Amino acid sequence: MQQNNSVTEFILLGLTQDPLRQKIVFIIFLIFYVGTVVGNMLIIVTIKSSHTLGSPMYFFLFYLSIADSCFSTSTAPRLIVDTLSAKKIISYNECMTQVFALHFFGCMEVFVLILMAVDRYVAICKPLRYPTIMSRQICIILIVLAWIGSFIHSMAQIILALRLPFCGPNLIDHYCCDLQPLLKLACMDTYTTNLLLVSNSGAICTSSFMILIISYIVILHSLRNHSAEGRKKALFTCTSHIIVVILFFGPCIFIYTRPPTTFPMDKMVAVFYTIGTPLLNPLIYTLRNAEVKNAMRKLWHVKIISENKR
């Protein structure tokens, strides 16, 4: 992997250097990470086990939960372990792997959110053609295309990262490896690389956000022709999706669509979309969704009955 480098490892500065605050960070983010994995795994198991959650919306929610779990896993475990380490060392190869994983699963989440918006648009605006347009075969093709698109995006990012030469400084003022903090350490003019970063990650974030917002505006506008009951149900579902979109894309756009400058708040903003959003998604989609909650209750009830029979 290493090309034109004298640096074989990096030192992550993490969120804080204060020992007491590091212990607090360890406790808080351990709880966050466990909550993220448990919450998303619960959604995955519920959707896979329930016969009532067979619609395309839950098909896409299944893959959103997978993307959330993996996206959080690409950064959170390292952050948690590093709070207990005196020297937070990450090898060059591990750093490049983290860049790839971060962008692969992050981009997958972006694409799945778009597919969920498309599903809601067709369900609300084209209800008679919904079963034909959003058939299981088409949903599978869309998800496969999302995986392929995510792979292409993350390969573009890792190629940019591998082309950066590192000649001396190896202190990364961050809790994970990403292109923005790595650009500061590269011993070359990174203006062109940053332009490519903005045109790749920045363009994906901004264009996806605009597509999603426009699609939900169209959906909300079309609700005028529905009954009061239909409006209420559709509005309830779309509100959940809009909350997730804003929480995820707001920080992403802030990080990836600007010149190569850093701000003190960058690390906290990154925490919000790499660890915070994957934690909030299960809460938003379960607490605000009666069908998912009912399916979870039935699954839990069946498990209790089977345990009692033993």
How confident is the model at residue 1, as a pLDDT? 46
Question: How far is the C-alpha of 50 from the C-alpha of 45, rounded, in Å?
Answer: 8
How confident is the model at residue 247, as a pLDDT? 84
Residue pLDDT, tens place only, 246-265: 888 888 888 888 776 777 78
Average pLDDT of the chain to the nearest whole number: 86
Alpha-helical (H) ranges within 50-190 are 56-73, 76-82, 92-125, 130-133, 136-162, 179-185
**How much is the average pLDDT of 113-123?**
90
Question: How far is the C-alpha of 307 from the C-alpha of 294, rounded, in Å?
Answer: 20
Judge contact between 245 and 115, C-beta under 8 A. no
How confident is the model at residue 301, as a pLDDT? 72
DSSP state of 105: H
The residue ranking higher by pLDDT, 286 or 218, is 218
227: alpha, beta or left? (left if phi > 0; alpha if psi -120 to 50)? beta
The residue ranking higher by pLDDT, 69 or 310, is 69
CB within 8 Å of 217: residues ≥ 6 apart: none
How confident is the model at residue 307, as a pLDDT? 59
Give the pairing type, strands 171-172 and 89-91. unpaired
Residue pLDDT, tens place only, 59-106: 999 999 999 999 999 999 999 999 988 888 999 999 999 999 999 999
Question: How far is the C-alpha of 244 from the C-alpha of 113, rounded, in Å?
Answer: 9
**How much is the average pLDDT of 271-292?**
82
The residue ranking higher by pLDDT, 304 or 175, is 175
**How much is the average pLDDT of 299-309?**
65
Rounding to the nearest 10 degrees, give the CA dihedral for residues 96, 198, 113, 35.
50
How confident is the model at residue 2, as a pLDDT? 47
How confident is the model at residue 33, as a pLDDT? 96
Question: How far is the C-alpha of 281 from the C-alpha of 244, rounded, in Å?
Answer: 7
Q: The pTM is what? A: 0.88
How confident is the model at residue 308, as a pLDDT? 58
DSSP state of 171: E
For residue 122, pLDDT over 60 is answered with yes
